[in-house]
A and B are shown apart, each in its own frame.
Chain A
Amino acid sequence: MARVTVRFFARYAELTGCETAAVLVPGSSATVGDVLTRVRETVPGARSLPPRLLAALNLRQVKHDAIVKDGDEVALLPPLSGG
C-alpha cells in the first residue's frame, strides 16, 4: 500500500473541515484519481467537494491519471485566483 498525504486549501478546507488527511491506496499503480476516490470515501465532508477537481502532485498540477507512490503529497486546488 502507498500512504499519500492529501492537502485541502481555501474553500475546500472549509468544506472538508480539515487541511490534511492521509489515505492508503494500492501500491504500484494507484493514481491521483484513486486517491480522490479514497478521499471522498473516508474524509468527512469530502462528499460535498465538486465532481471535477484541480489536483497537484508533489507541487505540480497533474491530471487524475498520474501515478502516485508512497510518501507523495496530493493537493486539491479550488479555482485559482492569484494575482
Chain B
Amino acid sequence: MTHLVTQRLTVDALLAEVEGPERGGTCVFLGTVRREDDVTGIEYSAYDQMAIAEIERMLGEARERWPEARVALQHRLGLIPVGEASIAIAAAAPHRDAAFAACRYVIEEVKKRLPIWKKELHADGSATWVDPSGKPVAGGLRDR
C-alpha cells in the first residue's frame, strides 16, 4: 500500500491490508494532531524516498520478529488540522500479544528513524519547527 499520502487517513484501508481469518487480534494506533496553546495545525514534510525505504525496513523487521503478524502503516503529509490523524498503524496477529507488540514496535521505530518533520502553525500566522529532542536550538525551534 502507499505509505505516504496527503489525504485524510482512513482505518478501513489499513484493516483490509492486515485482516485474515487466522488472525484473531487486531490493534490500531492513530497519532493525531493535538490542540496545544495556539497551534492551529501542523505541516508535515518528508524525505520521501528515504521515508518509504525506512517504513519498508521497519515492516520487514516486524515480519521477522512476529512472522504470523501483518502490519500496515500510512503517514499523512502536508497541512493537518488539529484533531486529524497524521499516522495510522494496524497490526493483526493470531493473538493479541503479538498484535500489540508489533504495533508498538513500529510506532517506536517511526519516532526514532522516520525522516519526517513537523512545523507547528500558530494562530498569529507564525510557524515553528518541532524538535522532539527538547534541546533548545536557534532558529525558532520550540522544545517538545
Which of B75, B119, B131 is in CB contact (< 8 Å) with A82? B75
Chain B residues with Cβ below 8 Å from A82 are 44, 46, 51, 75, 87, 110-111, 114-118
Q: For the complex, what is the distance from the CA of A79 to the CA of B86, rounded to whole Å?
A: 18
Please report the total number of A residues contacting B with Cβ < 8 Å.
Answer: 20
Residues A11 and B129 in contact, CB atoms below 8 Å apart: yes
Nearest-neighbor residue (CB-CB) of A50 within chain B: B137
Q: Is the interface of A mostly helix, strand, loop or mixed?
A: mixed
Q: For the complex, what is the distance from the CA of A5 to the CA of B76, rounded to whole Å?
A: 27
Would you give the 0/1 interface string for B75-90, flagging 1 where the beta carbon is closer than 8 Å to chain A?
1000000000011000
A-B contact count (CB 8 A): 77
Chain B residues with Cβ below 8 Å from A48 are 139
Question: Does A7 have its Cβ within 8 Å of any Cβ on chain B?
Answer: yes
Q: For the complex, what is the distance from the CA of A11 to the CA of B50, rounded to whole Å?
A: 17
Chain B residues with Cβ below 8 Å from A39 are none
Residues A78 and B117 in contact, CB atoms below 8 Å apart: yes
Nearest-neighbor residue (CB-CB) of A10 within chain B: B117
Residues of B within 8 A of A (CB): 31, 44-47, 49-51, 53-54, 75, 86-87, 107, 110-119, 129-133, 135, 137, 139, 141, 144
Q: A11-B117, A79-B132, A82-B44 are in contact. List 10 more A-B contacts (CB 8 A).
A: A9-B45, A9-B115, A56-B50, A56-B115, A59-B53, A78-B117, A78-B131, A79-B135, A80-B111, A80-B114
